[in-house]
Structure 1
Amino acid sequence: MGAVLGVCSLASWIPCLCSGASCLLCRCCPNSKNSTVTRLIYAFLLLLSTVVACIMLAPGMEKQLKKVPGFCEGFDCEALVGYRAVYRVSFAMAVFFCLFTLLMIQV
């Protein structure tokens, strides 16, 4: 239930990322520039990926994942922990930020 509410509250910020969005949903945005809000969201994404990477390196995480019923049935839980998993998350974040760097050329 909390995840659904979190997604709904995050979805209400999406129109705020568009610089020329003239819709009713933009009234929910704080009184700041759109570039400032966008930078804060990107910083939050980077912080979130760092926290996920730290959790993946925690000792005993594989044992905790195996305790969750039905979580490790379809695949090996070793793929979700360790250095290789951190490399996967870091590579995905690097590709994400490089893609947005290319999209922002001459903007």
Structure 2
Amino acid sequence: MGSVLGLCSVASWIPCLCGSAPCLLCRCCPSGNNSTVTRLIYALFLLVGVCVACVMLIPGMEEQLNKIPGFCENEKGVVPCNILVGYKAVYRLCFGLAMFYLLLSLLMIKILVL
């Protein structure tokens, strides 16, 4: 019984850890405030998206993906790996990033940064 209550108390901390990720990073670097760290995290998201888009454009990436066993296959048959690479894949990724940042900008319309 005590272990169940202990797990419940630990489980109540999980939303605090995951919901306020910028606050956790603020503790690591106390000189920056919450809005600055949040902007850095969003810039990191953009940098990761650009790096993934660059990897999608590398010549020969489709052949490398085909070498991974089971990566381009599912229960119904073979899924073409060419949808994961090339210009169309980069367009899809950049469109997703643009919609993400558009959503963030719409959510922040009437919020003041102190």
How would you bin the TM-score normalised by the shorter chain?
A: 0.7 to 0.9
Question: What is residue 98 of structure 1 aligned with on the other side?
Answer: 102
Q: Distance in 2 between matches of 1:15 and 1:57?
A: 34
Give the Cα–Cα distance (whole angstroms) in 1 for the partners of residues 61 and 21 of structure 2.
37
After TM superposition, the score normalised by the length of structure 2 is 0.72
Would you say 1:17 and 2:16 are equivalent positions? no
How far the C-alpha of 1:12 sits from its partner, in A, is 4.7
Q: Unaligned regions of 5+ residues in structure 2, if any?
A: 1-15
* Greater mean deviation of Cα atoms: 83-92 or 26-35: 26-35
Secondary structure of 1:40's match?
helix
Q: How far apart, in 2, do the equivalents of 1:54 and 1:81 lie?
A: 10
| Equivalent in the alignment of 1:42 | 42
Aligned twin of 2:67: 67
Q: Which amino acid aligns with 2:96?
A: A
Identity of aligned residues (%): 54
Shift of 1:17: 3.2
What is the count of residue pairs matched by the alignment?
91
Distance 2:46 2:92 in 1: 14
Q: Using a 3 Å threshold, how does the CA distance of structure 1 residues 27 and 80 change in structure 2: closer, same or farther?
A: closer
2:85 to 81, 90, 93: 81
1:30 aligns with 2:29: yes
Q: Which runs of 5+ in 1 are unaligned?
A: 1-10, 19-24
TM-score of the two chains, using structure 1 as the length reference = 0.76
Report if aligned partners of 1:66, 1:77 keep a CA contact under 8 Å in 2. Answer: yes
- 1:99 is matched by which residue type in structure 2? L
Aligned pair in 2 of structure 1 residues 106, 63: CA closer, same or farther (>3 Å)?
Answer: same
Q: What is the alpha-carbon root mean square deviation over aligned residues?
A: 2.2
